[in-house]
Structure 1
Amino acid sequence: MNNLFVRFYVGVVAALALALLLVVLAAAGRHETTAAREAQSARLAEHYVELTQGNHWLMQEALLARPPAEWDAVLEQWRPHFRYPIALQPARELLAGELPPFVRERLAVGEPAAWSRLASPTSERLTLYLPLAGSDRVLVEELELGPPVDVLLDLLGVDLVVLLAILGLTILALTRPLARHVNRLADAASAFGAGRLDARVGASAPEPIGRLARTFNAMAERIQRAADEQQATLQAISHELRTPIVRLHFALEVAGGALAEVPAAREHLEEMARDVGEIEALVEELLTYARLQPGAPPLELVQLDLAELVHDVVRDLGPLAPRLALGIDGPASAPCSAHPRHLARAVSNLLRNAQRHARAQVRVRFAVAGSAATVTVDDDGPGIPEEHRARVFLPFERLDASRSRATGGYGLGLAIVHRVMQAHGGSARAEACDLGGARLVLAWSWPGEADRGD
């Protein structure tokens, strides 16, 4: 809001100053170069001659009452009483210099003349010419009309401050609602990007913000509808697959009993059973991923000991990779708030991912500080390139194209981890680690005692 107001305010003030400067420059250019402006200057000069006619009559009478030889002495007596220069000059010298045509014409016939031109943006220089009758001398007066810049600032300073204050209040009144609507739209877009697909923004805003809000809402509706349909389809397919999988398991058991005496058939049946087991595991992964979709009912967090949970996961999964050195680093007790089953699933997915890629060592660390917790799993495997670290949490995204039993996995393990952390209001991220491989970090927080008491 402040940035928008300042930029708008400075822009308007700069535009006003530039417009004023251009007007002054244009006026100055027209004054010096165009015939129309010269005609206008001639009319203005005529006005100044008429305006100073009485003063000139008195000065001429005072000079003509004295001999011409004393005129210079009289001017010396007058000068201390004038705040502008006065002088007597020969008419021939003036006519030989640069004068506008309307001044030259009047001096040539012995008539008073005036010449006005711009001296500064706030003042003009006025030269008055008074030919003295019966002589070739001209009384010349140099006046500067209009206040100097410092005097003008003193005169207009308060008015200028009031003008700028009113301008600022007007711009603030215009930009504040605009900034408020834009901020609401930005908050809704941020929430939508974070997985809250039901985030919407009020469309009662001035155009074109209102149109932008309606467009955003329409886009959000389409995306949410498509996501809901995709999740419904995924869950329906997963549920429908369970029945034929159960039938396959039963059929394989029956066939295994009937063909128990045929070694070749038994081997094929065991291979088929493993394939069906993989399909069943994939279906369970799909159902878990679908249940954790954004917009699902919030998880019920309970108090638990993170140390106990991590040790249980390591104890269960450690024997699956006996060749690896598996270390645990964390306090003896680490109370936190989380959903036990989903958090255990996330930690086990990280550990199984590390076991698949590690060469010789896996390290699990955990910590709780206040109302925030972290779980970190490091391995000494090939690591994850920096440009791919965000992609590994996408569903069915694998850096290798393999789906073989050697590497295992279905491309959903880290995607489920990501959704578990989203459901906890936390995050999952990939980093480089000092073991040379990948570091996968879970981080989440929960309301503290002070927050729950409000």
Structure 2
Amino acid sequence: MNRIFFRFFMLVMLSITAATFVIYFAMSRLFGDPLEDIARRQASAQIFLIEQYVDAAPADEWLARLNRVREVSGTRFDLIPLPRARSFLPAASLGALDRGEVVLDVEGKSFYRRVDLKGERYIGSEEDVIHVQDLPIDVSLALQMEAVRYVIVALALLVPIALWSRSHWQGLQSLSRVADEFGAGKLSARARMQPSASIYPLAERIDHMADRIEELLTAQKTLLHSVSHELRTPIARLEFALELLEAKALDPSLKKRIAAMEGDVLELNSLVNELLGMARLDSGQPLQKETLEVAALLRTAEAALPPGEPVLELVCAPDAGTIEGDARLLGRALSNLLRNAQKYALARIRLTARRESGRLLVTVEDDGPGIPHEERERVFEPFYRLDRSRDRATGGFGLGLSIARKAVLAHGGTLRVEASELGGARFVVVL
């Protein structure tokens, strides 16, 4: 946000600077150089002496009158050859010199003017130039005045722009804070700006959008939670009825069919439990944090893994130490990651924990088929399953990884998937 207003301020400053130069060059082009005009006014007394006193003398007295001016003036009046004067002046001023005009040299504090154009003052006067030096020219004060003038104009523009920008900046900062809170899960965050605020229309639309999103998410969570709870009663009835039916069944084929139905009910019950777990995580309930031994947390997750192949290798670095967290949620996340690895591993699963730059890294990797790069973010979406895992034997419901990531995010951590050196997938938990 600060970068936006810094760029805007720099743009305004550059615009004012560019406008200053444009004004100066435009005025110079249309009305002449203002600094030269100031210098000409400061040298007006010496120019007046030449034009109105010395030039007014008869031809035979012109040099004598010039000498009298030299004697009483603190300014030097010299006669130099025309070619020499032309060598001192820039090409743009030579035309004015040839026409007999006064040509100022502001930096040299002097001016040049031909004695005359026809040699009427004395013999060879058309080839001589009056060079007047040490003129009382000082444009520094004029430059300071011009600078002060432009600074006043710049301040007159910048002050209202700064006041106007400040209200926008404060409003945008407020919207940015609301967006961060809303994105972090605080669905009640709103801007609530006064109608007099400069960005009130934008804030009002954002608040309306947030209200609608909160309503939709609340309705979704309520529906999910309610449906999950309501399903538990008929599932319990089905389990009870199947147990009674199995006790009275005599036909082996019927018993086999009842066993399959019990498997379906068990799967449905697992799905409901997963949905309830998702609903609890989405509800934003505060974590029951406590100090947890990382090694003990890993062993608990290992013990919760169903027995059988493949073999789990547990590696916990001595510096793993402890961590503050919710034992139930972190244990659930690790268990889900281990169960996922168990489904796809061929022979090896490795669970490791170590410290890195003050953070705890827990990795779960296997030697299975791995996860394609383009699918590595999608596997954390609820109900998403890879094409090869859509059968009931290995596919699950597509909620385990989503629950694991939500549990890690609730602790302020991250969960990502990458390729493992074992050949399969490697899930990395950073806390």
Q: Shared fold (TM-score greater than 0.5)?
A: yes
Distance 1:418 1:296, change over 3 A: same
Question: Which stretches in structure 1 are left out of the alignment for 5+ residues?
Answer: 38-44, 90-96, 108-113, 445-454
Q: CA deviation at 1:282?
A: 0.4
Instruction: Tell me the equivalent position of 2:370.
Output: 383
Distance 2:340 2:76 in 1: 94
Could you tell me how far 1:25 is from its partner in structure 2? 2.9
**CA positional deviation for 1:438:** 1.6
Counterpart in 2 of 1:354?
A: 341
Q: Which residue of structure 2 lines up, in the alignment, with residue 56 of structure 1?
A: 51
TM-score computed with the length of structure 1 as normaliser: 0.73
The residue aligned with 1:178 is 168
CA distance in structure 2 between the aligned counterparts of 1:67 and 1:236, rounded to whole angstroms: 116
Count of residues paired in the alignment: 410
Q: Which residue of structure 2 aligns with residue 411 of structure 1? A: 398
Describe the SS at the equivalent of 2:55: helix
Matches within 5 A, 1:36-115: 52-53=47-48, 55-60=50-55, 64=59, 66=61, 82=75, 98=95, 114=101
Letter in 1 for 2:423: G
Tell me how far 1:375 sits from its aligned partner. Answer: 2.6
Q: Displacement, 1:297? A: 2.3
CA contact (8 A) 1:49 1:128 kept: no
Amino acid at match of 2:304: D
TM-score, normalised relative to structure 2: 0.77
Match of 2:324 among 323, 337, 349: 337
Moved over 6 A (4+): 48-51, 75-78, 122-127, 141-146, 154-170, 368-371
Secondary structure, aligned partner of 1:292: helix
My pick for the range that moved more, 390-399 or 173-182, is 173-182
Give the conservation status (yes or no) of the 8 Å contact 2:238–2:265.
yes
Match of 1:209 among 178, 199, 203: 199
Would you say the 8 A contact 2:185–2:284 is kept in 1?
A: no
Residue identity matched to 2:182:
F
Aligned with 1:262 (options 251, 267, 271):
251
Counterpart CA distance in 1 for 2:286 and 2:358 is 18
Q: Is the 8 A contact 1:184 1:201 kept in 2?
A: yes
* Deviations 1:154-195 (CA, angstroms, capped at 9, x unpaired): 777788788878877766555444333323322322332233
Identical aligned pairs, as a percentage?
A: 32
Give yes or no for contact 1:288–1:416 (8 Å, CA) kept in 2: yes
Distance 2:136 2:28 in 1: 16
Asked if 1:10 is matched to 2:5, the reply is no
Per the TM alignment, residue 344 of structure 1 is displaced from its structure 2 partner at its CA by 1.6
SS in 2 for 1:382: coil
Instruction: Confirm whether residue 250 of structure 1 aligns to residue 240 of structure 2.
Output: yes
Q: Does 1:291 pair with 2:280?
A: yes
Letter aligned with residue 363 of structure 1 = R
Q: Any idea what the Cα deviations from partners look like across 1:1-58, whole Å, max 9, x if unmatched?
A: 65345423322221122112222333344359xxxx9xxxxxxx9xx99995455333
The answer (yes or no) to whether the contact 2:370–2:424 under 8 Å persists in 1 is yes
Residues in 2 aligned to 1:346 and 1:307: alpha-carbon distance in whole angstroms: 15
> Do the aligned partners of residues 125 and 59 (structure 1) sit closer, same or farther apart at CA in structure 2, a change above 3 Å counting?
closer
2:171–2:197 Cα contact (<8 Å) kept:
no
Is the contact made by 1:188 and 1:199 (CA closer than 8 Å) also made in structure 2? yes
| Corresponding letter in the other structure for 1:326 | L
C-alpha distance in structure 1 between counterparts of 2:77 and 2:275, whole Å: 96
CA distance in 2, matches of 1:262, 1:231: 44
Deviation, 1:286, is: 0.6
Q: CA deviation at 1:277?
A: 0.9
* Structure 2 partner of 1:328: 314
* 2:283 is the alignment partner of 1:304: no
Verify the 8 A CA contact 1:123 1:146 in the aligned structure 2: no
Distance 1:360 1:325, change over 3 A: same
Preserved CA contact (<8 Å) 2:54 2:65: no
Q: Extract unaligned runs of 5+ from structure 2.
A: 34-39, 83-93
